[in-house]
């Protein structure tokens, strides 16, 4: 299974960005979940949103009013719509996934994921 992120970049405070993560190489007959993590400068990586193949979602309280996670089963892509961005959202954003390990709701803990994308930088200026 491979993950490829797209959509990072620079934006001014208050703006929006949409990240995408395309997944390839897994069987749709398997349970699979994907998540977004970020690592802000000087801080540990944190889980911010996740979705599974039956569209159950988990979203961190810190972003739930501004970020929306979704997926398009047709093109095997997960999205993260980020609105009302602030400089505090500046980070490297990573897409992650795991095959086969069922959860009622997809986890936001990084050790529950074993497939990672390369990351995409998001920079929000004030």
pLDDT in tens, 3-28: 999 999 999 999 999 999 999 887 77
C-alpha 52/C-alpha 119 separation (Å) is: 20
State mean pLDDT over 47-65: 96
> Which helix (H) or strand (E) is 22 found in, with range?
strand 17-24
65 Cβ contact partners less than 8 Å away, ≥ 6 residues apart: none
How confident is residue 40, by pLDDT bands cut at 50, 70 and 90? Answer: very high
Q: Which two tokens stand for residue 38?
A: 């970020």
Q: Does 100 have pLDDT greater than 90?
A: no
pLDDT score for 105? 94
pLDDT score for 17? 98
Q: Which pLDDT tens digit goes with each residue over 59-92?
A: 999 999 999 999 998 888 999 999 999 999 999 9
Contact, 86 vs 70, CB < 8 A? no
């Amino acid at each position: 299974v491979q993950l490829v992120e797209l959509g990072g970049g620079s934006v001014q405070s208050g703006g929006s960005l949409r990240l995408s993560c395309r997944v390839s190489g897994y069987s749709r007959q398997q349970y699979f979940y994907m998540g977004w993590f970020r690592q802000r400068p000087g801080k540990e990586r944190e889980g911010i949103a996740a979705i599974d193949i039956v569209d159950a979602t988990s979203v961190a309280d810190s972003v739930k009013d501004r970020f929306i996670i979704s997926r398009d089963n047709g093109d095997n892509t997960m999205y993260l719509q980020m609105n009302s961005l602030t400089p505090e959202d500046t980070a490297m954003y990573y897409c992650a996934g795991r095959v086969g390990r069922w959860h009622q709701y997809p986890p936001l803990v990084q050790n529950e994921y074993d497939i990672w994308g390369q990351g995409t930088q998001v920079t929000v200026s004030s």
